[in-house]
């Protein structure tokens, strides 16, 4: 389908997509993984991979961002059946929050119980360095609190309740598992835990905006993830999130620093890619799924 066509996200349309995919592979995924900017290498950890280009999946949106390949990959990691999104969708691409998060609903109907979300983010916390991995313990959905929210509109009880709680959006036991795994792998020197602040993009934040976001409690800032997590929670999934801190944000208006750029984000992601892949693979091996 052409990218300009309407992308439906009602239950019957989502089930149609899931049934279509299940008819083309014997893999019945229990773990879903969304790869952020420059983190598509996580998909290389998938064994016995069966790949589907987004553009070839009926009624599926198409990714338009450099660093997002646009493939749905079924297979196994550490013996666990997974489905991996190599490339995600963003509000700034012109998609509604409902369309951005539709693949999460597809994952739910594929049988996914645990969703792992990854992203590239700017570091706001003064203790963070470029190359750090932040285990997300909470998020601030700045668009959501102003009404640009993926659950706005009629609610379908087949997916979840009208008013889902996001108090524990990032499962405590999965965060502990991730932290314990980081220590086991000797990654604690560049592992952080913190709050992810979601903005729409596509422009990077001004120094004043960065200072505001930090004051509001954000440790890292990025242009994705929060809507997907909200929908995953709505669907009854457990969520684990990782931010790769690809740059430290600029908060001084008189700096000579030109600020972040997408090439820098991709380069930092590339440098830390092997550590991220090893971490996700080891965490998946320890996950309990039915």
Confidence label for 258 from pLDDT (cuts 50, 70 and 90): low
Give pLDDT, residue 274: 86
Closest C-alpha among 263, 268, 226 to residue 247: 268
In the predicted structure, residue 219 carries a pLDDT above the cut 50: yes
Helices (H), 142-215: 172-184, 207-215
Q: For strands 114-123 and 80-86, give the pairing.
A: unpaired
- pLDDT attached to residue 2: 37
Quick check: helix, strand or coil at residue 167?
coil
Distance CA 66, CA 63 (A): 9
- pLDDT tens-place string over residues 162-203: 999 999 999 999 999 999 999 999 999 999 999 999 999 999
Instruction: State the pairing for strand pair 31-35/114-123.
Output: parallel
Quick one: CATH architecture of 11-286? 3-Layer(aba) Sandwich (3.40)
48: left (phi over 0), alpha (psi -120 to 50) or beta: left
Q: Of residues 271 and 159, which shows the higher confidence score?
A: 159
Which pLDDT does position 129 carry in this prediction? 92
Residues of the chain above pLDDT 90, percent: 77
* pLDDT of the residue at 1: 35
pLDDT for 271 beyond 90 = no
Task: Quote the crossing angle between the two packed helices 11-22 and 97-110, to the nearest 10°.
Answer: 50
pLDDT value, residue 46: 93
The model's confidence at residue 252, banded by pLDDT at 50, 70 and 90, is confident
Closest Cα to residue 277, out of 36, 41, 15?
Answer: 41
Identify the three-state secondary structure at position 192: strand
Q: Residue 8: is its pLDDT beyond 70?
A: no
- Of all residues in the chain, what percent carry a pLDDT higher than 70? 90
Domain ranges across the chain: 11-286
Identify which of 241, 221, 9, 189 has the alpha carbon closest to the alpha carbon of residue 106.
9
Residue 242, strand partner residues: 118, 135
Which residues have a catalytic role annotated?
A: 37, 68, 90, 92-93, 120, 223-224, 247, 262
If you average pLDDT over residues 36-62, what whole number do you get?
87
pLDDT of 260:
67
């Amino acid at each position: 389908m052409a990218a300009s066509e309407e992308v439906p996200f009602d239950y019957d349309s989502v089930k149609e997509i899931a049934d279509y995919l299940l008819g083309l592979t014997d893999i019945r995924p229990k773990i879903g993984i969304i790869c952020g900017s420059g983190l598509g290498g996580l998909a290389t950890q998938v064994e016995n991979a069966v790949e589907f280009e987004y553009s070839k999946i009926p009624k599926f949106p198409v990714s338009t961002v450099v660093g997002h390949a646009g493939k749905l990959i079924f297979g196994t990691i550490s013996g666990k059946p997974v489905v991996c999104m190599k490339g995600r969708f963003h509000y700034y691409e012109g998609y509604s929050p409902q369309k951005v998060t539709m693949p999460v609903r597809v994952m739910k109907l594929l049988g996914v119980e645990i969703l792992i979300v990854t992203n590239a983010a700017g570091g706001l916390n003064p203790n963070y360095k470029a190359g750090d991995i932040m285990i997300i313990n909470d998020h601030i959905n700045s668009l959501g609190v102003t009404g640009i929210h993926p659950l706005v509109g009629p609610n379908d009880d087949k997916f979840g309740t009208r008013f889902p709680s996001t108090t524990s959006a990032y499962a405590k036991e999965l965060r502990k598992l991730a932290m314990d795994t980081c220590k086991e792998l000797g990654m604690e020197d560049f592992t952080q835990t913190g709050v992810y602040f979601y903005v729409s993009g596509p422009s990077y934040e001004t120094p004043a905006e960065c200072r505001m976001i930090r004051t509001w409690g954000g440790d890292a800032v990025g242009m994705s993830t929060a809507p997907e997590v909200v929908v995953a929670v709505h669907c009854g999934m457990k969520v684990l999130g990782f931010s790769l801190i690809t740059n430290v944000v600029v908060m001084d208006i008189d700096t000579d620093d030109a600020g972040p750029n997408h090439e820098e984000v991709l380069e930092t992601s590339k440098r830390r890619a092997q550590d991220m892949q090893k971490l996700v693979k080891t965490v998946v091996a320890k996950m309990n799924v039915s």
